[in-house]
Amino acid sequence: MSSFTLLVTSAPYSDQSAYSAYRFALAAVESTHLIKGIFFYQDGTLNGSELQLIPSDEFNLHQAWKQLSADHNIPLMVCVSAATKRGITNAQDAEDSDQIHHSLSPEFQSVGLGDLAILLADSDRLVQF
């Protein structure tokens, strides 16, 4: 049994990478491997935005990430500086309540790069998507 950290750097629907990361994570946990955490960085931070509107006939990757986390106790970590740069903040982080911003879904944790280092030290492998 191996343990993995996943690094997702692509937006949810810009290409296949974020979906491939989800499918990899699902296959890994179904094969009794351990996912220590999923770290969303750069455009990957957009996966954590709760303002995604997905048509009913399309796969809802945002909901799938949340369900995977709940079912398998996998932390979903979003780099705070990369997310802020893309307009994604925690509601309590917004300095001006009148400011328009994307909110980070509560299932996603706002963290720093130090948390990625901790994940890496505790995992056998890093897989980037």
Q: Strand pairing partners for 4?
A: 35, 125
The Cα–Cα gap between 28 and 6 comes to 11
The Cα–Cα gap between 38 and 34 comes to 11
The one catalytic residue in 38, 68, 79, 83 is 79
9 catalytically annotated: no
Q: Strand pairing partners for 111?
A: 79
The Cα–Cα gap between 119 and 38 comes to 9
Write out the catalytic residue numbers: 79
